[in-house]
């Protein structure tokens, strides 16, 4: 009987923990709370990466482990994730964020806003889903000053500066393009003719990318040519989508977006994503800064300060979950 009672008590105690984890990772399995803490050496490492001091309470905050399907890692089997909950100060109030990451694979799984004392726009899927499956590099340990220095270098006039500028701006343009694309799909589904504005925004991003592309010396001439072909084809298709939307042919427009996604976007991403990612890492501007100036898209410019607060919180959560032993 005593054993049954102890088991019942343990089950009751586990419920709040499981509920918290499942709010962040709904399909979580094998949930457990890890007994970890941050060493003085690790604290110094994390503080340098963040460019700020940690609160003492953050040194022993709980880290949870679970297993979940992380498509960016494997769709065939569950992946081990670490979960950390962090609270940051937004422009209008505190924001409590749940972050799950497959830290061994350096892949962010998902981000959830648990409590929001700031603008409701932070809870928009157009902001949060950009973090699903985001692969980060060791640049996560770089201090914010490194990015600021590289942004400054990218303003130079020599070939090295122009190449750095291409990497930074292309990354930002592609991320903003993703947000505009998702908004366009939502509006097409709602038969909203302002979806054509999003098509125009995507086209402008392509135009700007093509304008700066000659500075990408890390690409071979044949890669430059293929990139231009993919972009030109996508822009032609976008023009057709715009006409369809304005003519009220929303079903045709939706079908056309599927064609672009499979015939244009997928081919280009398959050919160039790793090339650009490796070039960025070599130039010290790989994913991991979690900055609105680099890899975090800004769906609403008015909320940039709040977006940055959340992004910094995500970086902090990953670092603490990784470094606690």
Greater confidence (36 vs 68) lies with 68
pLDDT, one tens digit per residue, over 22-60 is 999 999 999 999 988 999 999 999 999 999 999 988 888
Q: Verify that 126 and 171 share a domain, yes or no.
A: no
pLDDT attached to residue 54: 95
Q: Verify that 93 and 132 share a domain, yes or no.
A: yes
Q: Verify that 86 and 133 share a domain, yes or no.
A: yes
Q: Verify that 210 and 252 share a domain, yes or no.
A: yes
Which CATH number fits the domain that encloses residue 199?
1.20.120
pLDDT, one tens digit per residue, over 239-279 is 999 999 999 999 999 999 998 888 888 878 888 888 999 99
Q: How much is the pTM?
A: 0.90
The contacts found for 69-74 with CB under 8 angstroms, 24 or more apart, are: 69/27, 70/102, 70/105, 70/107, 70/109, 70/133, 71/133, 72/102, 72/107, 72/109, 72/132, 72/133, 72/134, 72/135, 73/102, 73/105, 73/107
Q: Verify that 225 and 313 share a domain, yes or no.
A: no
Q: Verify that 197 and 81 share a domain, yes or no.
A: no
The residue range of the domain holding 55 is 14-142+309-323
Q: Verify that 117 and 247 share a domain, yes or no.
A: no
Q: Verify that 117 and 204 share a domain, yes or no.
A: no
> For residues 57 and 38, what is the distance between their CA atoms, to the nearest angstrom?
11
> Quick one: DSSP state of residue 55?
P
Q: Is residue 6 part of a domain?
A: no
Q: Is residue 244 part of a domain?
A: yes
pLDDT, one tens digit per residue, over 186-244 is 999 999 999 999 999 999 999 999 999 999 999 999 999 999 998 999 999 999 999 99
Q: Verify that 191 and 317 share a domain, yes or no.
A: no
User: With 50 as the cut, is the pLDDT of residue 4 above it?
Assistant: no
With residue 156 as reference, give the H or E element that holds it. Answer: none
> Quick one: DSSP state of residue 265?
I
Q: Verify that 131 and 170 share a domain, yes or no.
A: no
- CA-nearest of 293, 296, 289 to 318 is 289
Q: Is residue 257 part of a domain?
A: yes
Reported as a pLDDT band with limits 50, 70 and 90, residue 2 is very low
Q: Is residue 261 part of a domain?
A: yes
**How many domains does the chain divide into?**
2
Q: Is residue 303 part of a domain?
A: no
């Amino acid at each position: 009987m005593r054993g049954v009672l102890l088991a019942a008590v343990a089950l009751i105690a586990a419920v709040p923990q499981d509920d918290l984890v499942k709010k962040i990772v709904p399909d979580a399995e094998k949930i457990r709370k890890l007994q970890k803490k941050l060493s003085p050496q690790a604290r110094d490492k994390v503080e340098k990466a963040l460019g700020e001091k940690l609160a003492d309470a953050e040194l022993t905050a709980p880290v949870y482990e679970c297993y979940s399907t992380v498509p960016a890692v494997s769709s065939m089997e569950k992946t081990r994730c670490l979960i950390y909950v962090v609270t940051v100060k937004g422009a209008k109030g505190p924001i409590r964020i749940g972050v799950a990451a497959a830290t061994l694979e350096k892949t962010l799984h998902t981000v959830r806003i648990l409590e929001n004392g700031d603008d409701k726009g932070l809870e928009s899927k157009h902001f949060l889903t950009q973090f699903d499956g985001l692969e980060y590099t060791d640049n996560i340990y770089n201090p914010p000053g490194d990015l600021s220095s590289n942004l400054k270098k990218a303003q130079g006039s020599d070939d090295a500066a122009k190449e750095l500028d291409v990497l930074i701006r292309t990354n930002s343009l592609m991320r903003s393009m993703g947000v505009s694309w998702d908004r366009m799909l939502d509006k097409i589904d709602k038969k909203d003719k302002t979806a054509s504005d999003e098509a125009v925004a995507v086209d402008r991003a392509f135009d700007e990318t093509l304008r700066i592309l000659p500075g990408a010396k890390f690409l071979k001439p044949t890669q430059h040519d293929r990139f231009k072909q993919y972009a030109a084809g996508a822009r032609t298709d976008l023009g057709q989508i715009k006409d369809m939307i304005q003519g009220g042919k929303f079903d045709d427009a939706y079908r056309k977006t599927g064609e672009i996604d499979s015939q244009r976007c997928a081919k280009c991403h398959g050919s160039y994503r790793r090339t650009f990612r490796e070039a960025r890492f070599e130039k010290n501007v790989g994913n991991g800064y979690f900055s609105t100036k680099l890899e975090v898209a800004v769906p609403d410019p008015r909320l940039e300060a709040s977006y940055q607060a959340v992004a910094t919180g995500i970086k902090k959560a990953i670092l603490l979950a990784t470094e606690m032993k």
